[in-house]
Structure 1
Amino acid sequence: MASAVIISVIILTILSLLKVNVLVAIVISAFSAGLIADLSFTETVEMFVTNMGGSANTALSYVLLGGFAAAIAYTGITKGIVQFLRRAVKGKRGFMLIAIAIIASFSQNLVPVHIAFIPILIPPLIALFDKMQLDRRAVATSLTFGLKAPYVMLPVGFGLIFHETIQDSMKESGVELTVGQIASSMFIPGLGMIVGLLIAIFITYRKKRDYSQVTPEGQPSDIEEIDDEPFKFELKHLMTMIAIVAALVVQILSGEMVLGALTGLVLMFLLVAVPFNESEQIMSKGITMMGMIAFIMLAASGFAGILDGTGSVEALVDASSGILEDQKALVAFVLLLVGLIVTIGIGTSFGTIPILAVLFVPIASQAGFSPLAIAALIGTAGALGDAGSPASDSTLGPTAGLNVDGKHNHIWDTVVPTFIHFNIPLFIFGWIASLIL
């Protein structure tokens, strides 16, 4: 059973690196996991399709957020944001990348819209990036940092959900900690991500890259040219801001992204920020923008269901723990490695936590780890792989914004850079945290 996880994730990784469509790669990997776990092909298909429903809410949210994003872009309000960024960074690539990382960080807590801001903000900036000869791999790294580091380190917004998930999962296994204690245990692993971001910005991708020499993949889309005409704030922009605030309030009060996105989208038409006769075009653009991400998340949920339902993850942890004895450093290393493998396959740190916690707590407790160290292990193991997974929204979101002209490859320009700069330091810092806490 344990081999089902390892082999299926290897298949997913190889297919992705060979530039096979991510959705197809996930489906093939999921079916491989089921067949290796001795399920029949029919049983595998049934389990896969049944478990796809686990991400139905998320998928619908992304489609509606795509429509909302397309409506916001239609009003032209993004022009003001782009011109502000241009004036603020004054052509300095380091400032631009750090500003993008900060804006992305706000999407997890201050204005919790997650990846929905990327299709709004990034495409209008592509022409400026190319004029600056900015390496888009650095932009992808900055975006993924902002989508991931805040929830790893800060118990606010999506971070509160992440830390409470760790808290609840540990409590079910008999270990109780406050959210504040869990946040303190994740501080050191989070520092690893900061180190990775600085390395990416100022070392790995510091050189200029001329995208006029890059061959587009598939049919390139039109990108907006740099518009130097001063931005004028109009009534439709005020209506847009009201819709955005309303969407955020509804999302926060209800805890449902679907309701928030639907509220914002409906208000855009009711307040005439966007003409009603443009609704069909807006929704089509939104589905085009976010539809693939939604389907990938559905497939990833089906994959996760097969790994969980067949007991493959539990078997992998049991097989690993059986050879560890009481060597804490080795125990921590192997548990984090298991977390990396599982999360790359499942593609979501939030969904991985409950699966890993029930297995990690008894193993780590027996090995002599403190409750804080166990929290660091679970949190780090869950977060590991999220940035480097082909099926993660932390990588799918940046690609959706940066590949508007077909010149940014999802695997080689987003997944591989984020895996190197975030998963490796997160692994090292998380391993250190588990040994010193």
Structure 2
Amino acid sequence: MVWELLTNPVLVAVAVLLALSALRMNVVFALVVASVVGGLMGAVDGGEAWAMLGHGEFHAFWNCCVGGFSGTMKAFLSNLDNGAVLAINYVMLGTFSIAISRSGVTELIARKLFAWIGTELTARRLLYFKYMLLGILTLISISSQNLIPMHIAFIPVLIPPLLPVFEKLKLDRRAVACVLTFGLITPYMVLPVGFGKIYLNNILLDNITRNGMEVHASQASPAMLIPALGMVAGLLIAVFFSYRRPRVYNTSGTEAMVDATEPAEIKPFNVAVGIAAILMALVVQIFLDSLLVGALLAVMVFVIAGVIRLRDTQDVFVQGVHLMGGIGIVMIAAAGFANVMKETGGVSELVTLVQGAALDYKGVTVFAMLLIGLIITMGIGSSFSTVPLIAAIYVPLCAAMGLSPLATIAIVGSAGALGDAGSPVSESVLGPTAGLNADGQHDHIYDSTIPTFLHYNLPLLAAGWIAGMVL
């Protein structure tokens, strides 16, 4: 089993992706290289190349490698259109964010916060205001998943104008990244509203039912409560221990960013138009389920009201691409990487390996299910896509071990959610980076990916295991 794990194409590809990212290679480049490695190991349209090499058939090995490379690139490129939809949404969201900044809405919020802090910033006042701000950001992030289901759309609108406030507080942005990621993930794990309704009812419970176990909607939230508490523990550790110390950034970069977007003066009319545009985007997204149309109509509100001239929309769009275009390109490449991983068959092999574990060792088997879920989601970058891949094996296996429906929900739900935090290609990590790196001082891997991986995946792994054993 150990050798099968070490040679599994998905596991190797994810390891390559994480290693190259940790070495500061661009995430898109790392995704392409990892796709090629995984595709060749999985023999995508290439046959058993490694077996031929073992028999000394070097010419056949070379031909298989060429075929495998060609098949890998075909699989990679054939799925890019799925990521392109997300990319154009993010670019339009960035454009909307720039338009809002020109209206003065977010600048007004930042100025009010500065006035609230005051010039005399004592240590006690600093501590109070820092944790109050983190608490507010946590509530806003949680609300973006259910109360106002806009996912990461609020981050590029709200966070960049607050960077000077973070500087004054000497707030470690890694703590903010952990706060935002917590709010983007934990609500859908346990609250059956908004994105949680989709994850718990439409994906998790539906796949468990389809694979032969009777479960009810009323069981989802209680089953996922213990795993959610693991996420809470990670948040508290990050905020009150790991990143509680002051951290100083280069204020000249932040000031330059603010000067580039700060309006000459904050006009009440412009602010009112900005609020109307935000409401327009929100209503369209909720009722038409289209972030693209919502952002476009919101920008047109600015144009019609005269806050932004029609000829200036080109400049606004270019700045929007600069703000959010990077995350869009990563999501396009991530869609190709996910398709290659599916074509290798390595995902199915990983899931099947759990089935071969000894049923007498329930604790080991539950841990293996969670760990493999972590690996799959780290590569795919979407917990919503992981559950359908693992449920077909996990549900019958849980039934064979005599686990209750509550325990099964907790195991499959936790295995899917594991890796959403800490994956370099997850929206829940890319979103915070897009906002916090607006001035170029927040590294995606070392300031978002690794901190969220350590503070959420490890507690969630432990909490998910406990839930699977005691429920």
Task: Please indicate the TM-score interval, normalised by the length of the shorter structure.
Answer: over 0.9
1:369 positional shift: 1.6
1:375 positional shift: 1.4
2:378 is matched with 344
Instruction: Say if 1:85 and 1:96, in contact at 8 Å, map to a contact too.
Output: no
Cα deviation, 1:62-105, whole Å, max 9, x if unaligned, reads 12211111211121100232244456676422222222111211
2:188 is matched with 151
**Structure 2 SS opposite 1:44:** helix
Distance 1:277 1:112 in 2: 32
Q: Aligned AA for 1:32?
A: V
Is 72-81 or 320-329 further displaced after alignment?
Answer: 320-329
Of 29, 41, 44, 1:36 maps to 41
Distance 1:165 1:204 in 2: 34
1:222 aligns with 2:227: no
Distance 1:103 1:210 in 2: 25
Instruction: Say if 1:327 and 1:367, in contact at 8 Å, map to a contact too.
Output: no
1:9 aligns with 2:14: yes
Identify if the C-alpha distance between structure 1 residues 179 and 277 changes in structure 2 by more than 3 Å, giving closer, same or farther: farther
Is 85-94 or 193-202 further displaced after alignment?
Answer: 85-94
2:369 is matched with 335
1:195 is matched with 233
1:135 aligns with 2:140: no
1:10 positional shift: 0.7
Is 108-117 or 191-200 further displaced after alignment?
Answer: 108-117
Cα deviation, 1:378-416, whole Å, max 9, x if unaligned, reads 111111111100111111111111122322111111111
Instruction: Say if 2:104 and 2:262, in contact at 8 Å, map to a contact too.
Output: no
Q: Aligned AA for 1:367?
A: M
1:373 is matched with 407
Instruction: Say if 1:57 and 1:258, in contact at 8 Å, map to a contact too.
Output: no
Identify if the C-alpha distance between structure 1 residues 166 and 223 changes in structure 2 by more than 3 Å, giving closer, same or farther: same
Distance 1:125 1:314 in 2: 44
2:268 is matched with 234
Q: Aligned AA for 1:197?
A: L
Is 381-390 or 1-10 further displaced after alignment?
Answer: 1-10
2:98 is matched with 70
CA RMSD of aligned residues (A): 2.5
Superposition map of 1:60-209 within 5 A: 60-86=88-114, 91=126, 92-163=129-200, 164-209=202-247
Gaps of 5+ in 2: 45-67, 118-124
1:54 is matched with 82
Q: Aligned AA for 2:209?
A: K
TM-score, structure 2 normalization: 0.86
Q: Aligned AA for 1:182?
A: A
Identify if the C-alpha distance between structure 1 residues 94 and 26 changes in structure 2 by more than 3 Å, giving closer, same or farther: same
Distance 1:359 1:130 in 2: 49
1:24 is matched with 29
Q: Looking at CA atoms only, which structure, 1 or 2, has the larger radius of gyration?
A: 2
1:347 positional shift: 1.0
Identify if the C-alpha distance between structure 1 residues 55 and 369 changes in structure 2 by more than 3 Å, giving closer, same or farther: farther
Cα deviation, 1:166-205, whole Å, max 9, x if unaligned, reads 1222232223433332122111111111111111111111
Instruction: Say if 2:97 and 2:156, in contact at 8 Å, map to a contact too.
Output: yes
1:360 is matched with 394
Instruction: Say if 2:88 and 2:292, in contact at 8 Å, map to a contact too.
Output: yes
Of 238, 254, 261, 2:295 maps to 261
Distance 1:328 1:136 in 2: 40
Q: Aligned AA for 2:87?
A: A
Q: Aligned AA for 1:15?
A: L
Cα deviation, 1:239-283, whole Å, max 9, x if unaligned, reads 222222222222222233333333323333234343222210111
Identify if the C-alpha distance between structure 1 residues 233 and 13 changes in structure 2 by more than 3 Å, giving closer, same or farther: same
Instruction: Say if 2:77 and 2:336, in contact at 8 Å, map to a contact too.
Output: yes
Distance 1:73 1:281 in 2: 13
1:286 aligns with 2:320: yes
Q: What's the % identity of the aligned pairs?
A: 42
Is 32-41 or 170-179 further displaced after alignment?
Answer: 170-179
Q: Aligned AA for 2:326?
A: M
Distance 1:213 1:17 in 2: 26
Instruction: Say if 1:126 and 1:223, in contact at 8 Å, map to a contact too.
Output: no
Distance 1:253 1:113 in 2: 12
Distance 1:312 1:33 in 2: 9
Distance 2:173 2:79 in 1: 35
1:228 positional shift: 12
Instruction: Say if 1:328 and 1:368, in contact at 8 Å, map to a contact too.
Output: no
Superposition map of 1:309-320 within 5 A: 309-320=343-354
Count residues in correspondence: 433
Distance 1:152 1:305 in 2: 25
Instruction: Say if 1:344 and 1:385, in contact at 8 Å, map to a contact too.
Output: yes
Distance 1:308 1:228 in 2: 46
Q: Aligned AA for 2:164?
A: A
Instruction: Say if 1:308 and 1:355, in contact at 8 Å, map to a contact too.
Output: no
**Structure 2 SS opposite 1:200:** helix
Instruction: Say if 1:237 and 1:273, in contact at 8 Å, map to a contact too.
Output: no
Distance 2:94 2:358 in 1: 47
**Structure 1 SS opposite 2:339:** helix
Instruction: Say if 1:61 and 1:258, in contact at 8 Å, map to a contact too.
Output: yes
